Structure 1
């Protein structure tokens, strides 16, 4: 496959750093789609996002030439029409925007991620995490929990908290009660994650260790 043109590289490098959302003319973006460096989201507003190959170009420089077949490498999460979307991990200082608008954003982001799974998993599986989720573990797990309707924690409210761990491809999920922890485990398992419950050292309570399922 040919290297991207100078114009295409500029568009790729200017992509949103979190979501991979692209800006450009319709012809320019369509050219990136033909080159397998971008895809058009199936839902309105039909925005364009980097594919795994496009992310390799942006992150890896000139040597990151896209291959003929997509691979489960880092890929963008969906963004709502209003701008950049970030799933809530529970570590935020406050609730931010709530209500129907937030619910719509979460639903759109989750549907976009499921579509991304279909496009980037080699077998087209929608029930198994994709490459983007494996490189954005905390955000991916948080999106699965928020999309399931579970409340994130912040000062003054009980809810889930998702955090990094030293273990490769694993996040820790905490909740204020056994029922909350079970609800988190069920939501993650439905979203294609492997989940185990563990006891924290020195009486620190119980928590979940969750990893994206591979098969």
Structure 2
């Protein structure tokens, strides 16, 4: 079992930058947090240390490492219990808990962009997102507060794969439909265009990760 955080370690985690998760502390303290998988060292100079999704969960929810050492969300590692809601899933029983999960997953994805994109760019999708288009677009929408459709008849959006390379379709139900979805995806670094269904005339979005 992982040892609980010391008072000094908890203070470092709690005082992390609320947006970037950047940490301040001695080299020994930061190295210990890396070993506990609560922080990572950026591979590029100046080699700062940042919270992992598990570290973010501790800072936000006050969890101990035993609880926070769950596999990170797919946006951070490609595996784990978190699943982006693409639309059509059952209603979420605990909206606040879900909001925390989405926020943590999005923070992990932003850090992945910082670590893997040229020059640490966070304003455009990374390779993981281009390999997981539906999940990445769904996470970007949910992190922006856009509500996916619930069940078979709920209002909101649904994200679907398309035959086109590096493109997903975002379709809407009810008055909420696709309203605001294009702007949310564009803010997350996606290129978006609006189209009409050939037979029904219904509107939908076609979105692709922006490369530059």
For the aligned pair, the TM-score class normalised by the smaller chain equals 0.5 to 0.7
Do the aligned partners of 2:74 and 2:83 also contact (CA within 8 Å) in 1?
Answer: no
**Partner residue in 1 for 2:11:** none
Q: Does 1:78 align with 2:67?
A: no
Change (3 A) 1:46 1:210: same
> For the residues of structure 1 that align with 2:185 and 2:42, how far apart are their CA atoms?
34
Structure 1 residue 121, shift from structure 2 partner: 0.2
> For the residues of structure 1 that align with 2:174 and 2:196, how far apart are their CA atoms?
13
> For the residues of structure 2 that align with 1:160 and 1:113, how far apart are their CA atoms?
21
**Partner residue in 2 for 1:190:** 187
**Partner residue in 2 for 1:8:** none
**Partner residue in 1 for 2:155:** 158
Listed as ranges, the gaps of 5+ residues in structure 1 are: 1-25, 48-74
> For the residues of structure 2 that align with 1:110 and 1:34, how far apart are their CA atoms?
18
TM-score by length of 2: 0.64
Query: 91, 97, 101: which one pairs with 1:101?
Result: 97
Do the aligned partners of 1:78 and 1:85 also contact (CA within 8 Å) in 2?
Answer: no
**Partner residue in 2 for 1:213:** 210
Do the aligned partners of 2:42 and 2:115 also contact (CA within 8 Å) in 1?
Answer: no
Listed as ranges, the gaps of 5+ residues in structure 2 are: 1-33, 44-48, 57-72
Number of equivalences = 155
Do the aligned partners of 2:149 and 2:173 also contact (CA within 8 Å) in 1?
Answer: no
> For the residues of structure 1 that align with 2:158 and 2:182, how far apart are their CA atoms?
13
Do the aligned partners of 1:78 and 1:108 also contact (CA within 8 Å) in 2?
Answer: no
Superposition CA RMSD, Å: 3.2
**Partner residue in 2 for 1:111:** 107
> For the residues of structure 1 that align with 2:125 and 2:36, how far apart are their CA atoms?
30
TM-score by length of 1: 0.63
